[in-house]
Amino acid sequence: MKDPISKRNLDGYGAPIIPWEKVQKRLQRGISQAPKTGGPDRHTAWLATVRLDGKPHVMPVGILYVDDAFYFNAGPKTRKARNIARNPNCVITIATHNFDLVVEGPATKIVDSAGLKRIADAYAKVGWIPTVVKGGLTAKYSAPSAGPPPWHVYEVRPETIFALGTSEPYGATRWNFQTETDGK
């Protein structure tokens, strides 16, 4: 991921800025959802999207971090997929050891077969073996919240990331990855 264009210490108790390199190194190790692999008992990722009426919708999702972006899948008829089709802005939250992360950015559906194959291969490396089909992925199983296959694959390139320390020296830091004019 390109380096952030700005950072800000959000901690009101005197903790130092959390180094971006520490967060990036943690993300590059992967985010397993297997039991006893993260905090408190495993890494939990949540996706927040916006309903048509403006109300939030939040669901747990399996997250991959590949080449500086976050990936998840969803059936086309799920609430999250329908919300993203109308408004791609979303938030992903992830509980890890040492800090909790909040990732803001738009979700983009991956439709090209090469991109789908790359993400299918990344899923296979962590134990889920999907097959690429026209416009998405299929497999013997997925998360109950993903809906029936085929599943669309979404990419979130972060615009803003927050890290909130859960261990010494704690702290809270925000990084921006775009200029204000990039997002308009």
Range of the domain at 68: 6-176
Tell me if 146 is assigned to some domain: yes
Residue 1 included in any domain: no
Q: How far apart are CA 52 and CA 141, in angstroms?
A: 29
Residue 116 is assigned to a structural domain of this protein:
yes
Q: Is residue 142 part of a domain?
A: yes
Q: pTM higher than 0.85, yes or no? A: yes
Residue 183 in any domain: the answer is no
Q: Is residue 6 within 8 Å of residue 176, measured between CB atoms?
A: yes
pLDDT at residue 44, as a whole number: 77
Q: What is the CATH number of the domain that holds 148?
A: 2.30.110.10
In a domain, 184, yes or no: no
Please check whether residue 182 lies inside any domain of the structure.
Answer: no
Q: What is the pLDDT of residue 32?
A: 65
* 65 found inside a domain: yes
Q: Alpha-carbon distance 23 to 73, whole Å? A: 24
Question: Which amino acid is residue 131, in one-letter code?
Answer: T
Question: pLDDT at position 109, please?
Answer: 97
pLDDT, tens digit only, all 184 positions of the chain: 678 999 999 998 899 999 999 999 988 887 766 555 555 555 679 999 999 999 999 999 989 999 999 999 999 999 999 999 999 999 999 988 888 999 999 999 999 999 999 999 999 998 889 999 988 999 988 877 788 889 999 999 999 999 999 889 999 999 999 755 554 4
Q: What is the tally of structural domains in the chain?
A: 1
How high is the pLDDT of residue 83?
Answer: 98
